[in-house]
Structure 1
């Protein structure tokens, strides 16, 4: 089985808005809804799991009010690595052979095409894990800040792991696409996204 794990339990403190980050509206639509819609069109993904936490009760309420094709998984929301470990444990108890695509809820422009490209690459790789990276130049071109870079590349928030909670041998895939740099962490990020909206959704 191939599961998409949509991470929607973080505190989102950098955005500094009165709503939870997954519910922040880009062009009058919650960020998380863009990701749900694009993930659900993937030809590889068997099931979408949305990981929520006590940090995002309104997001959980919103998800429960929709007629979406997904399942909700409660995590602690303590931090990303703690939740990741919990999720890997949860799936490992079911099977050690499943594929888990982790994707952040703040990537509204992530396309189904890119999701399927990453999964196709992973399925043809001989490694258990895959991380995707975006060149720093993409962020500089768009005028976006980033919190971490290594050798000129920034983690994109889209990763693939086997359903085992151990350190996994990892491949890296560089994808020089604007859509992976547009994770909405701050108001300036959202302003850039609004300007580019028509390129993706009109």
Structure 2
């Protein structure tokens, strides 16, 4: 059994939309609806735990009625990792694999989720990465200090997959040592808990809606996809 924890707890301040971007409406639907439509069709995902911004719990509960794979709704925490923790508390212990994804990534190819599910047969933690296409530059007081070999680096993406026991231990260690809300990314928590984090190179378009300009990019893509159907 596989559960996907969908993180929709953010406030969306960088987008300056006066509401969390995951609940912003593009054309006829909210961003989170496009994401839910996508992840609900992923082969192998049995259940979804929706972690919502606390101010939008009523909306999240309405989404639960519209998307049968949503088995429970949790309140988002102060940080991304706390939201993962809150979502994990809703995951049945019988689950073997857990995916963590962002509600503001509606275009992630479904094969990425399916490949991570398969890789978790052999690995404890798998995260998605994309190649860096520009120069990776270290700055020093507004000047270029060093240019790195970009082939040795990658851009972190989502989703990330965990075996149930790996995420359980990751969160337990983070709570125990007080780093749950001090370290911004869960894969660092996993590494601190003793796990090797393997990567799945996506080499694909995986837009994370972050700024207002991303809304317009998403709007154009949604129209293109609808015209193809």
- TM-score bracket relative to the smaller structure: 0.7 to 0.9
- Relative to 1, partners in 2 of residues 1:32 and 1:76: Cα closer, same or farther, differing over 3 Å? closer
- Relative to 1, partners in 2 of residues 1:58 and 1:187: Cα closer, same or farther, differing over 3 Å? farther
Quick check: 1:52–1:72 contact (8 Å CA) kept in 2? no
Per-residue deviation, 1:198: 4.4
Per-residue deviation, 1:111: 3.0
- Relative to 1, partners in 2 of residues 1:12 and 1:62: Cα closer, same or farther, differing over 3 Å? farther
Per-residue deviation, 1:15: 1.2
Q: 2:110 aligned with 1:112, yes or no? A: yes
Quick check: 1:10–1:55 contact (8 Å CA) kept in 2? no
Per-residue deviation, 1:151: 4.6
Match of 1:165 in 2: 169
Quick check: 2:10–2:76 contact (8 Å CA) kept in 1? no
Q: Secondary structure at the match of 2:210?
A: coil
Deviations 1:109-167 (A, max 9, x none): 123333223322333xx2211110112329xxxxxxxxxx9954211121001222323
When normalised by structure 2's length, the TM-score is: 0.70
- Relative to 1, partners in 2 of residues 1:57 and 1:18: Cα closer, same or farther, differing over 3 Å? farther
Query: Structure 1 runs of 4+ off > 4 angstroms?
Result: none
2:120 pairs with one of 98, 119, 122? 122
- Relative to 1, partners in 2 of residues 1:150 and 1:47: Cα closer, same or farther, differing over 3 Å? farther
When normalised by structure 1's length, the TM-score is: 0.78
Q: 2:206 aligned with 1:185, yes or no? A: no
Match of 2:99 in 1: 101
Equivalent residues in 2 for 1:1-202, closer than 5 Å: 1-57=1-57, 59-60=59-60, 62-63=62-63, 66-69=65-68, 70-91=70-91, 94-95=93-94, 98-123=96-121, 126-137=122-133, 151-163=152-164, 164-166=168-170, 167=193, 168-178=195-205, 180=206, 182-201=207-226, 202=228
- Relative to 1, partners in 2 of residues 1:9 and 1:175: Cα closer, same or farther, differing over 3 Å? same
Quick check: 1:8–1:56 contact (8 Å CA) kept in 2? no
Q: Secondary structure at the match of 2:169?
A: coil
Of the two, which has the highest radius of gyration? Answer: 2
Structure 1 unaligned blocks of 5 or more: 139-148
- Relative to 1, partners in 2 of residues 1:169 and 1:19: Cα closer, same or farther, differing over 3 Å? same
Quick check: 1:2–1:45 contact (8 Å CA) kept in 2? yes
